């Protein structure tokens, strides 16, 4: 079903990928981004929500080494988006979270898996990051955890349908990132758009890790299949 969809952070990598796909499927798009003159932190974004059915909230400072101030501004942006969405009776918000809500690199290095029961934990990995890089790693992680919790409150208080999509890692060249866990945390453009397509029909509250169907099975993909009816198709081993 065609929708009116608002995308924050529309001019970033994921935003650009989704714009092309959503337009091809006949959706009407409302785009918000600093690059096109709309700063969520200062603008009255409620005026852009009229008639919107779904919001895809991508805007924010990208990690993993953002400052404490940027962390706070990420959470404030999420608050402004969901507050405006609730007041304008938007049906759902799809929030671009991250696998950084887990201490995922330590999980990977221990040979363990991320499942539906893996607890949220601020990500910091002194085994991999250099000393001068490590100190700001938790800020990005904290911004995602706090934003997810804020989203949950709005679901409980106002019935705003919320889907926290824990993305990692979408790359410009559509290839796995060059790091120890890159092949297992890769999310292809095809699977990204497939997940979003299904998410636009979602009702309720859920948090889902979004990666492709990679060979090592570092992430349990059964929740994606069960909740969204989508099983990722790409495999980094075939790149």
* Helix, strand or coil, per DSSP, at residue 163: strand
Across residues 39-45, what is the average pLDDT? 96
Backbone dihedral region of 165: left (phi > 0), alpha (psi from -120 to 50 degrees) or beta?
beta
pLDDT digits (tens, 9 = 90+) for 65-104: 789 999 999 999 999 999 999 999 999 999 999 999 999 8
For the chain, the domain total comes to 1
pLDDT digits (tens, 9 = 90+) for 201-234: 999 999 999 999 999 889 999 999 999 999 999 9
Global confidence as pTM: 0.94
Q: How many CB atoms lie within 10 A of CB 44?
A: 9
Residue 24 has pLDDT above 50, yes or no: yes
Quick one: pLDDT at residue 190? Answer: 98
Please provide the average confidence, as pLDDT, over all residues in the chain. Answer: 93
Across residues 149-172, what is the average pLDDT? 96
Across residues 52-73, what is the average pLDDT? 92
Quick one: pLDDT at residue 132? Answer: 46
In angstroms, the CA 111 to CA 161 distance is 34
In angstroms, the CA 73 to CA 79 distance is 10
| CATH classification of the domain holding 133 | 3.40.50.720
Structural tokens at position 66? 């953002």
Residue 163 has pLDDT above 50, yes or no: yes
Residue 199 has pLDDT above 70, yes or no: yes
In angstroms, the CA 82 to CA 95 distance is 10
Residue 135 has pLDDT above 60, yes or no: no
Beta partners for residue 31, in sequence order = 7
Structural tokens at position 228? 């969204």
Expressed as residue numbers, the domain containing 99 is: 4-238
């Amino acid at each position: 079903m065609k929708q009116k969809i608002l995308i924050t952070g529309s001019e970033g990598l994921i935003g650009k990928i989704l714009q092309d796909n959503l337009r091809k499927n006949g959706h009407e798009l409302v785009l918000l981004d600093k690059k096109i003159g709309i700063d969520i932190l200062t603008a009255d974004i409620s005026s852009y929500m009229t008639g919107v059915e779904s919001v895809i909230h991508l805007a924010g400072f990208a990690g993993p080494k953002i400052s404490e101030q940027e962390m706070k501004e990420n959470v404030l942006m999420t608050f402004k988006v969901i507050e405006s969405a609730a007041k304008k009776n938007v049906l759902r918000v799809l929030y671009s979270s991250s696998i950084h809500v887990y201490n995922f690199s330590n999980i990977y290095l221990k040979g363990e898996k991320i499942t539906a029961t893996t607890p949220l934990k601020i990500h910091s990995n002194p085994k991999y990051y250099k000393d001068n890089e490590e100190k700001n790693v938790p800020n990005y992680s904290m911004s995602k955890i706090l934003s997810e919790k804020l989203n949950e409150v709005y679901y409980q208080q106002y019935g705003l349908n919320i889907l926290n999509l824990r993305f990692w890692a979408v790359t410009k060249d559509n290839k796995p990132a060059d790091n120890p866990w890159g092949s297992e945390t890769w999310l292809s453009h095809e699977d990204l758009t497939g997940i979003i397509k299904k998410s636009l029909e979602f009702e309720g509250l859920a948090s889902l890790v979004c990666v492709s169907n990679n060979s090592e099975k570092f992430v349990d993909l059964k929740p994606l299949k069960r909740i969204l009816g989508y099983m990722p198709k790409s495999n980094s081993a075939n790149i």
